[in-house]
Structures are given as C-alpha cells and as structure tokens.
Chains A and B, each alone.
Chain A
C-alpha cells in the first residue's frame, strides 16, 4: 500500500513568488493535514482538510491557503513568499474517524 506522497521533493522560489505543494493521502484516508517544520521551530500545524473542506487552521497568515480535491488529494499554496517561509512542509493523512496520522516525506521549500 502506498503511503502519503508529496511533490515536489524540493522547491526553490524567489521572495514574492507563489509556491504550490501537493499531497496525495493514503488510499481511503479523507483527512489531510499540513505542517511547517522550520529550523528551530519544530512542527507547526498549518491546515486540516476533511471531505473537501477546511476544518481547522493554525496561526498562519492568509497567504497560506490550500484546498482538498474530490479524490482527497490536497494542495498547499503559499503566496507572496518570504524568506522565513523556507522550511520542510509535511503532509499527513488519516481516516475521518481515525486518530493517528501518517506522514509523507515532505517538500523542502527554499525561498531566496
């Protein structure tokens, strides 16, 4: 069974640009979570999607947004990139009624 897959693995963008990160959950999982892992800051909860809707949001500015598609895959969009957005972005998925999340390998976003 395939795990959570994220693309791209690495992404380099210039300050002010937009970045789009993609996540495919484990088959059968309907919930997708996004986390930011910045150096020295640990894992910060970004967004939770379930059944196509945003269910919860972390303490991030509106330029961090996303969506979940009918096949439960998800996109994270970061607009107006800032240098401090450089981080590893991790996606996780779980069953709607499940209580454990499975993580992908992450997308390393570098803003220069």
Chain B
C-alpha cells in the first residue's frame, strides 16, 4: 500500500537560514508528488507538484523540491526562510488514475526572528 512519511514533526529555523523538509514515499511506480502548505486556520495551498520529467521542481514562494527515485524521496527546500513561511507543510502522493491523494502527517515549521 502506498504511504507517505514526513519524519520531522517539528522544525525550527532562523529567519534567513536554509530549509529542507523531508518526505519519503512508498509506491509501486512513480506517483504524482505534491507539497502543500497550511497556515493556521486555513486550507491547503499547493506549493509545487511533480508528475514527470525534470526531477527538480520549482514552486511558489521560492520553494523547490527534488524527486529522487532511488531514495523514494521528494524533499522540499528553500534557500532563505522568511518569517511568513511559518506554517505546516504536507507532502502528498497522488495515485495516477484514481486521483486519490495520500498525505503525510505534516511538518510544522517555526521561524525564529
């Protein structure tokens, strides 16, 4: 069965520091991969997505993610974090053909001024 693991429940970084949020998935083939962000009291906003092709994906708000098939990973990165990036981040796997999305349990990011 497909699954998504986000090993870090909480991450704290200083404003201006770089960020990497980890995501590992289990799926028989190459799934569709997504990162979403959820600010407090809000719904989920899509940051970026990977379907195929170039394994380095650029998203909104300066985020990028790299798909590594050999590691079954899709880690999210940002070179310089802003205080407004404090939120919860969800990695998701989309099952092609079913449009069923499996989400990780999320990583809550705290940004220190």
A: which residues have CB within 8 A of B?
4, 31, 33, 35, 41-45, 48, 50, 55-56, 90, 92, 94, 99-106
Contacts and interface: CB of A to CB of B under 8 A. Distances in A.
A100 B33 CA distance: 9
Given A33-B99, A92-B44, 16 more contacts: A41-B105, A42-B103, A42-B104, A43-B90, A43-B106, A45-B101, A45-B103, A48-B98, A55-B99, A56-B99, A90-B43, A99-B51, A99-B94, A99-B99, A105-B43, A106-B43
B63 interface: no
| Chain B interface size range | 20 to 34
Contacts of A44: 103
Q: Which of B32, B42, B100 has the most CB of A within 10 A?
A: B100
Say whether chain A's binding surface is mostly helix, strand, loop, or mixed. Answer: strand
Given A99-B49, A100-B49, A45 B102 contact: yes
